[in-house]
């Protein structure tokens, strides 16, 4: 996970202005959610204890990784390309479903 976050952070910093992510089609629940894995940066999620707990529940160790601060400007969907075995579509969908319950 550490190498993935380092690579993701390096990519983010090097290509931030030119990086254009193609968002996945949002579900109705995700469209109304406070946070979304495709649109909300990791830093915002880490700063909200409820959102952080949801991420940690579905991707154990991600929020406590010593390198996580380098990926604060990225979204979970963007990090997926660096860790497709851990940050799966199923996990992101489950996270989005729980985000939809946050007020």
What tokens does 103 get? 């007020």
Going from N- to C-terminal start, the domains of the chain cover 2-15+32-99
pLDDT digits (tens, 9 = 90+) for 68-89: 999 999 999 999 999 999 999 9
Provide the pLDDT confidence category of residue 51 given band limits of 50, 70 and 90: very high
Contacts of 93 (CB under 8 A, 6+ apart): none
> Residue 3: which pLDDT band, with cuts at 50, 70 and 90?
low
Look up residue 41 and give its DSSP letter. B
The pLDDT assigned to 53 comes to 97
Query: Which residue's entry shows tokens 């995700």?
Result: 30
Quote the pTM value: 0.71
Q: What is the DSSP string of 54-83?
A: HHHHHSTTTTT-TTGGGGTTSBHHHHGGG-
């Amino acid at each position: 996970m550490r190498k993935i976050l380092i690579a993701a952070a390096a990519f983010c910093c090097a290509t931030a202005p030119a990086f254009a992510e193609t968002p996945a089609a949002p579900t109705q629940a995700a469209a109304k959610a406070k946070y979304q894995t495709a649109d909300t940066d990791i830093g915002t999620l880490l700063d909200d204890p409820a959102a952080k707990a949801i991420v940690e529940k579905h991707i154990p160790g991600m929020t406590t990784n010593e390198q996580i601060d380098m990926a604060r400007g990225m979204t979970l969907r963007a990090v997926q390309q660096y860790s497709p075995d851990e940050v799966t579509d199923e996990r992101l969908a489950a996270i989005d479903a729980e985000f939809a319950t946050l007020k």
